[in-house]
Amino acid sequence: MELTGAKIVIQSLLDLGVETVFGYPGGAVLYIYDEIYKEKKLTHILTRHEQGALHAADGFSRVTGEVGVAIVTSGPGATNAVTGLATAYMDSIPLVCITGQVPVPLIGNDAFQEADIVGITRSCTKHNFLVKDVKDLARIIREAFHIAKTGRPGPVLVDIPKDITIHKCEYVHTDSDVNIRSYKPNLKGHIGQIKRAITLLKASKRPMIYTGGGVVLSDAHKELFEFTSIMNAPITNTLMGLGAYPASDGRFVGMLGMHGTYEANMAVSHCDLLIAIGSRFDDRVTGKLEEFAPDAKIIHIDVDPTSISKNVNVDVPIVGDVKLVLEKINQLISTASFKKSKPDLSDWWEMVETWRKKDSLAYSQGESAIEAQYVIQTLCELTKGEAIVATDVGQHQMWAAQFYNFEKPRRWVTSGGLGTMGFGLPAALGAQVAKPNDKVVVITGDGSIQMNIQELATCLQYKLPVVIVILNNGFLGMVRQWQEFFYERRYAETDMMSHQPDFVKLAEAYNALGLRAKLPNEVEPVLKEALASDRCVIVDIHTRPEGNVYPMVPAGAALNDMILL
Amino acid sequence: MRHIISVLVENESGVLSRVAGLFSARGFNIESLTVAPVGDEETSRITLVSIGEDHIIEQILKQLNKLIPVLHVADLTDGPHVERELMLVKVTAEQSQRAEILRIADIFRSRVVDATPSTFTIEVTGDSGKLDACLSLLIPLGVTEMVRTGQVALSRGDKGLVKS
């Protein structure tokens, strides 16, 4: 059947199983939006900013595992999408972003709303395409989805000039696999390497498991649980890896790294074997590289070869999909002979328990000022650790990571790699669209929430009952904390108190519910009311202005060199 | 150490900027770069020279491999190989110097490809060291202009970059 380019875009999305897209219309995508208007099978969510559309598609993807889709126009629409693409790229989130472009004959002429978005996004996408012929359009869209979701996932951008969307060509639906001869990710781990890993696993007296976002992306949480049970080793998660292992399990020692727990960082510093799974030895995790896991042999399982031996030299690299590799390893260590020859770990566990007793996350809640930790702990109890929690970036994000105990994967939506303020609210609305029956909470700060506050309108338009908890300390808290510790309390431009909007009135202006707590005993009732509401709610919680995130490993220090409260 | 990296890529627009952009974005350096189609109209071959420690070069090879339109990457300096570069030099050639210039050209088995009453243009091929040596003799005589292609290289023996 002969279809226009615009119709091919929509039909391709439907044929690929897409039901929901996030976007914002504009001149260059008018024909595409005309087809969206006519096609009732595709739900379009109109955000209030293109950045919001990208983060919403990102949040949608994080909670479902599916490819998130966003459509924006050319020029400023496309450049507004860049932060969303970079955020997804750093966290390996599969997205397809369709951008409009000026008509092919005008490209390069500085036409109205023209931007070289393929050039601009080359380094913040996994791949990008400019469609120059309508005959390539359907193939390129299929390839974009394939590239986005396979191997190490990531965002892919498809730039479509306006004239391509009215040109016609034959469209045939095909289910056949995409074949790109230069792109064949290695998914099955090398069996020789796996056997070398088994030898190390068998001999280790102080094994430590350190897992990242790769376990979530690969949906390998069951395999991870089995592996950890057989090994009976302590396990820590990175910020991105939270939820891949149930926090209530005794083997879990919390998050590691800059704001990780004492026991997690000490265990990594003292283990004799570190098993890194779907993690990438980020600088916020390792601290001073020379002193990271100094006594340990390292096994590293990752689908992306460039992650291996990038920052830390590893002894046994295994390139492959985490789920497939763990399945194979589990099979090989489930044998009686492995279990029999494995050393007794009770001395190791005794060390870990001693560290754990230090209770490095302890805080005390007085009667006058609200501690942020208390708010999150209460929220976690009220939601039984089962809410979908999105965050922005800063102190509140670290407190959420430390005090919200995730039992399940794909409930934690946070910008880990890029650290994008303004991510939380749009990502949460994307998650709520994907999971209408789940409770979605945004934990944010008074700084971050103002970066994409316009998405409140989107929440209201689509009746998304997102609960927004603002930990309002009147500061850009994390920057202020660094200024307090390392810049002799010179609080340069981090005071947000003056000219802060009244967040309750702001909520009401958007026709959302606005609630406030100023005293510790108001926290629980206010959170209960918010969680019970079927409307979008802002909860403005005034917390102690100079609260700090502990423990903290100063930038560049070794992991066992922590500032404790 | 100096490495010659051969990259086989899909012959499509934007590939060169993806490769070059990777080097600038990740702080790797490029000493020289050449690119041309290899004859089948679908693939091009990029030859890069980069200087760096082994772990940096290893990252470069992996990062290049990760680019979607890259078919194959090899570090030719890992094994025996031949390398060649071509240089064109325009030398001031007044009457008194003409014989001397021709003698130098002869020593380096190079050819005069253009001549005017006041200049010679000389074509030299060889490895980079030979080109450097030739140039150092010509500079004192007055070099008006020169251009070098950057290195190209192939591994020795019967095997190619891609098993056919």
A323-333 pLDDT per residue, tens? 999 999 999 99
Best of B45, B46, B62 to disrupt the A interface (most A CBs within 10 Å) is: B62
Task: Spell out which residues of chain B touch residue A118, defining contact as CB-CB under 8 Å.
Answer: 14
CA pair distance A530, A383, nearest whole angstrom: 12
pLDDT at B124 over 60: yes
Which residues fall within 8 angstroms of residue A338, CB to CB, at 6 or more apart?
Answer: A198, A201, A202, A230, A332
The maximal CA–CA distance of chain A, rounded, in angstroms, is 72
Q: DSSP characters for A107-168?
A: TTS--TT---HHHHTGGGSSEEEE--SHHHHHHHHHHHHHHHHSSS--EEEEEEEGGGGT-E
CA distance A282 to A418: 12
Determine, yes or no, domain membership for A446.
Answer: yes
∠ CA A181-A186-A192, rounded to 5°: 135
Residue A335 binned pLDDT confidence (cut-offs 50, 70, 90): very high
- Report the alpha-carbon distance of residue A223 to residue A217 in Å, rounded: 13
Q: Tally the domains of chain A.
A: 3
**Residue A457 in domain:** yes
Of A233, A170, B152, A385, the C-alpha closest to A225 is A233
Q: Which chain B residue shows the shortest CA-CA distance from A125? A: B67
How many Å apart are CA A66 and CA A60, to the nearest integer?
8
Query: Distance between CA atoms of B27 and A327, rounded to whole angstroms?
Result: 38
- CA-wise closest residue to B121 among B148, B144, B155, B153: B144
- Please say which residue of A303, A329, A356 terminates a domain: A356
A175 inside domain: no
Whether the CB-CB separation of A372 and A397 falls below 8 Å is answered with no
A70 or A310, greater pLDDT: A70
Report pLDDT digits (tens) over A41-67.
999 999 999 999 999 999 999 999 999
* Last residue in a domain, options A326, A356, A386: A356
Whole-number pLDDT of residue A46 = 98
Q: Please state, for a pLDDT cut of 70, what percent of chain A lies above it.
A: 100
Regarding whether A421 and A351 lie in a shared domain, the answer is no
pLDDT tens digits, residue range B132-149?
999 999 999 999 999 999
B69 close to A (CB below 8 A):
yes
User: What mean pLDDT comes out for the span A410-420?
Assistant: 98
Q: Which of A130, A306, A309 is closest, CB to CB, to B66?
A: A306
Which residues of A are designated catalytic? 50, 112-113, 162, 478
Looking at residue A183, its amino acid is Y
Indicate whether A447 and A350 sit together in one domain: no
B128-138 and B98-107 are packed helices; what angle lies between their axes, rounded to 10 degrees? 170
Q: Which residues in A lie closer than 8 A to residue B58 (C-beta atoms)?
A: 309
Segment B58-115, tens digit of pLDDT: 999 999 999 999 999 999 998 999 999 999 999 999 899 999 999 999 999 999 999 9
Q: Is 90 exceeded by the pLDDT of residue A544?
A: yes
Task: Indicate if A259 and A113 belong to the same structural domain.
Answer: no
Mean pLDDT estimate for chain A: 97
Q: What is the distance between the alpha carbons of residues A461 and A440, in angstroms, rounded to a whole number?
A: 17
Could you tell me if A430 and A286 lie in one domain?
A: no
User: Do residues B46 and A105 lie in contact, with contact meaning Cβ atoms separated by under 8 Å?
Assistant: no
Side chain identity, residue A170: E
Among all chains, which residue has been given the structure tokens 């095909």? A174
Both tokens of A561, joined, read 């060199």
Given CB atoms, is B10 within the 8 Å cutoff of chain A? Answer: yes
Residue A306: both structure tokens together? 């460039």
| Residue in B13, B21, B70 closest to A122 by CB | B21
On whether both A109 and A204 belong to a single domain, the answer is no
Residue B42 at interface with chain A, using a CB cutoff of 8 Å: no
Gap between the Cα atoms of A258 and A558, Å rounded: 10
A157 plus A204 within the same structural domain? no
- Taking the C-alpha atoms of residue B109 and residue B128, their distance in angstroms, rounded to an integer, is 14
Checking DSSP bridges between strand B43-51 and strand B32-37, what pairing results, if any?
Answer: antiparallel
Are A401 and A437 in the same domain?
yes
Cα separation of B72 and B78, whole Å?
Answer: 15
Q: Of A202, A99, A92, which Cα lies nearest the Cα of A147?
A: A92
Instruction: pLDDT band for B164, please (50, 70, 90 cuts).
Output: very low
Q: Measured between alpha carbons, how far apart are the two ends of chain B, in Å?
A: 31
Say whether residue B12 is in contact with chain A using an 8 A CB cutoff: no
Q: pLDDT tens, A64-84?
A: 999 999 999 999 999 999 999
Asked if A123 and B17 come within 8 Å (Cβ–Cβ), the reply is no
Q: Which has the closest alpha carbon to A503: A493, A513, A495?
A: A513
Query: What torsion do the CA atoms of A112, A118, A123, A126 make, to the nearest 10 degrees?
Result: 140
Q: Is B54 on the interface with A (CB under 8 A)?
A: no
- The DSSP secondary-structure symbol of B13 reads T
The first and second tokens of residue A8, run together, are 């091919």
Nearest CA in chain B to A118: B14
CA distance A544 to A475: 10
Q: Is B34 on the interface with A (CB under 8 A)?
A: no
* Contact (CB<8Å) B59/A147: no
Measure the CA–CA gap between A53 and A168, rounded to whole angstroms.
28
Q: Would you give the DSSP letter of residue B78?
A: G
Between chains, do A123 and B21 touch, taking CB under 8 Å as contact?
Answer: yes
Are A221 and A347 within one domain? yes
Q: Using the beta-carbon criterion (under 8 Å), do B55 and A183 form an inter-chain contact?
A: no
- Would you state the pLDDT for residue B39? 82
User: Which DSSP category does A320 fall into?
Assistant: S
Find the CATH number of the domain harbouring A406. 3.40.50.970
Residue A183 to chain B, least CA–CA distance (Å) = 6
**pLDDT at residue B163, as a whole number:** 52
Instruction: Give the CB-side neighbour count of residue B120, counting CA atoms within 13 A.
Output: 21
Tell me, what's the ipTM?
0.90
Same domain as A201, residue A343: yes
- What is the largest distance, in Å, between two alpha-carbon atoms of chain B? 57
Chain A contact for B70 (CB, 8 A cutoff)? yes
d(CA B85, CA B31): 13
Which residue is listed with tokens 């892919």? A156
- Of the residues A356, A391, A422, which one is the last residue of a structural domain? A356
d(Cα A32, Cα A6) in Å, to the nearest integer?
A: 5
What number is the average pLDDT over the span A122-134? 97
Residue B162 confidence (pLDDT) above 80: no
Q: Kindly state whether residue A186 falls inside one of the protein's structural domains.
A: no
Is the Cβ of B20 closer than 8 Å to some Cβ of chain A? Answer: no
What's the average model confidence in pLDDT over A154-158? 98
Set of chain A residues whose Cβ sits within 8 Å of the Cβ of B25:
123
Query: Considering only CB atoms, which residues of chain A are within 8 Å of chain B?
Result: 118-119, 122-123, 126-127, 130, 147, 180-183, 304-306, 308-310, 313
Q: How far apart, in whole angstroms, are the C-alpha atoms of residue B78 and residue B45?
A: 18
Q: What is the CATH number of the domain that holds A254?
A: 3.40.50.1220
Q: B112-134 as b/e, with b when 16 or more CB fall inside 10 Å?
A: eeeeeeebbbbebebebebbeeb
Angstrom distance (rounded) from CA A80 to CA A72: 9
Q: Is the pLDDT of residue A173 over 90?
A: no
Structural domain includes residue A180: no
Contact A306 B14 (CB under 8 A): no
Pair (A243, A339) in one structural domain = yes
Identify the band that residue A236 occupies on the pLDDT scale cut at 50, 70 and 90.
very high
Domain shared by A8 and A94, yes or no: yes
A164 min Cα distance to partner chain B (Å) = 18
Residues 6+ apart with CB under 8 A from A17: A66
Domain of A346, in residue numbers: 191-356
**A159 occurs within a structural domain:** yes
Q: How far is B125 from chain A (nearest CA, A)?
A: 33
Residue at A291: amino acid letter: E
Q: Is residue A555 part of a domain?
A: no
Considering the domain architecture, whether residues A441 and A523 belong to the same structural domain is answered as yes
Are A130 and B14 inside 8 Å of each other by CB? yes
Compute and round to an integer the Cα radius of gyration of chain B: 19
Q: What is the pLDDT of residue A517?
A: 98
Of A183, A306, A313, the CB nearest to B59: A306
Mutation target to probe the A interface, by most A beta carbons within 10 A, among B43, B66, B67, B72 is B66
A287: three-class secondary structure by DSSP: coil
Does any domain span residue A176?
A: no
User: Is A305–B69 a contact, with Cβ atoms under 8 angstroms apart?
Assistant: no
